[in-house]
Amino acid sequence: MNSSMFSSFPRGWFRIALSSDIKKGQTKTVHYFGQDIVIFRGESGKVSVFDPHCPHMGAHLGVGGKVVGDTLRCPFHGWCFNHNGEAVHVPHAKRIPQKAKARTWTVNETGGVIFVYYHWDVSVPAEPFPDLSILQDTTWSCRSSFTMKLNANLYEQAENAVDRAHFDVVHHKTLMFKAESEDEKVELKANGDIVDIYANYYTKYGPLALKTTAHLHLMGIGCGENTFSGQCIPFKLVALGTPVENNVCETEFIILTKRIPIPFIGKLVNSVIMWGAKRELKCDIPIWENKIFREHPILSDFDGPVMKFRKWFSQFYPMSKPQSNIIAISRDKLTDRNKFG
């Protein structure tokens, strides 16, 4: 995996945890955007996200930090910070120093997921939160999720959506484009920070080749809603990708199927889709983790709209020079998360 402009961290809204990961009165340290990030949930239930090091003398707030009421208490000298990051209690001091403020991140908790806004220039205000109402849609309430850690940047996996030429080869003809009719091409419609990608292809089940339509609605880089329909069980795959380091990312895949009166059947359908999604991702992972980025690929007339997609994707990155590789040891590639009925 070599470096490219997509190796650095893009701006936008990104998932950093599931709501169920942090209960009232708990803290959790996660690692994204090349740094530790401390999440805490106050006794009121409100979640806040802090840079890790205390503005006083630099202790790590996530290592021994405690929730006290609706504040985060530093483990070193006991300063307490409210949800805005302001010190509201300094033990034994007559006055709270004016500059006593921890840096907080802009947070949004929606549909059981905690998101933060990232920009390399921290003075830039957050953009509007994307429309992820699907995560709260009661008609699509049968849900399961898993995470994928990848030694590649977010672009490498995202390009999958427009790269129709790889389906036949990498996915062992279980997903394929026959390229016999015009409507089987991949179409891309970009509009500012949103892009819609439409693809008609075939999903093979033994001798059956069922026509499937996939619509990917990407809201920035970190939030994608895939809708699958046609001759298949309709389902949604919400993909929430977050950069971990340069050229390392993690994605939470949330599978949503329609609410079915018999919960057991709903869970079974959901599990089968998860099994299929994991099976296909396992085919892609070794390619993504070992390929190089060809800035000027030699494309054939069968390739999808790769260059159009790159142009749209590039708007989220600082125009920085390629950054050095970081080699990370990845543990289990695909990790199950909590399941919901």
Nearest to 22 by CA among 60, 67, 63, 85: 67
d(CA 119, CA 14): 11
Q: Which residues have C-beta within 8 Å of that of residue 238, sequence separation ≥ 6?
A: 132, 134, 135, 223, 224, 225, 226, 253, 254, 256
CA 31 to chain centre: 13
Could you give phi then psi for residue 125, rounded to 5 degrees?
Answer: -65, 155
Binding flag, residue 284, Fe ion (CB under 5 A): yes
For 326, the token pair is 């970081």
Binding flag, residue 66, ligand FES (CB under 6 A): no
Binding flag, residue 50, ligand FES (CB under 6 A): no
d(CA 334, CA 341): 21
Among 60, 66, 76, 166, binds ligand FES (CB under 6 A): 76
d(CA 281, CA 166): 13
Strand order through the sheet with 27-32: 27-32, 35-41, 47-50
User: CB 103 → ligand FES: shortest distance, Å?
Assistant: 14
Among 25, 59, 60, 283, binds ligand FES (CB under 6 A): 59
Q: Looking at 21-29, 74-82, 109-117, 248-256, which segment touches ligand FES (CB under 6 A)? A: 74-82
Could you give phi then psi for residue 321, rounded to 5 degrees?
Answer: -70, 155
Site pattern 297..316 for Fe ion (x: CB under 5 A): --------------------
Among 56, 101, 119, 211, binds ligand FES (CB under 6 A): 56
The CA-atom distances, in angstroms, between 290 and each of 12, 33, 284, 286, 313 are 26, 22, 10, 6, 21
Q: Which does 79 bind (CB under 5 to 8 A by kind): Fe ion, ligand FES, none?
A: ligand FES
User: CB 105 → ligand FES: shortest distance, Å?
Assistant: 18
The CA-atom distances, in angstroms, between 162 and each of 189, 298, 310 are 12, 15, 10
User: Measured from the CB atom, is 58 or 318 closer to ligand FES?
Assistant: 58
For 81, the token pair is 């910070």
d(CA 171, CA 168): 6
Binding flag, residue 160, Fe ion (CB under 5 A): yes
Strand extents, DSSP E, 151-247: 175-176, 186-191, 194-205, 208-219, 223-230, 235-245
Q: Looking at 219-227, 281-289, 312-320, 324-332, which segment touches Fe ion (CB under 5 A)? A: 281-289
Among 60, 77, 185, 204, binds ligand FES (CB under 6 A): 77
**In which element (H, E) is residue 60 found?**
none
Among 2, 20, 23, 57, binds ligand FES (CB under 6 A): 57
Among 79, 146, 167, 201, binds ligand FES (CB under 6 A): 79
Question: Which residue's Cβ lies closest to Fe ion?
Answer: 284
Q: Looking at 49-57, 106-114, 251-259, 276-284, which segment touches ligand FES (CB under 6 A)? A: 49-57
Q: Looking at 21-29, 51-59, 135-143, 154-162, which segment touches Fe ion (CB under 5 A)? A: 154-162
User: Measured from the CB atom, is 189 or 279 closer to Fe ion?
Assistant: 279
Q: Which does 57 bind (CB under 5 to 8 A by kind): ligand FES, Fe ion, none?
A: ligand FES
d(CA 278, CA 24): 32
Among 54, 214, 216, 281, binds ligand FES (CB under 6 A): 54
Q: Looking at 53-61, 222-230, 251-259, 266-274, which segment touches ligand FES (CB under 6 A)? A: 53-61
Q: Looking at 32-40, 52-60, 242-250, 251-259, which segment touches ligand FES (CB under 6 A)? A: 52-60
Residues at the interface with Fe ion (CB under 5 A): 160, 284
Q: Which stretches of the chain bind ligand FES, using CB under 6 A?
A: 54, 56-59, 74, 76-77, 79
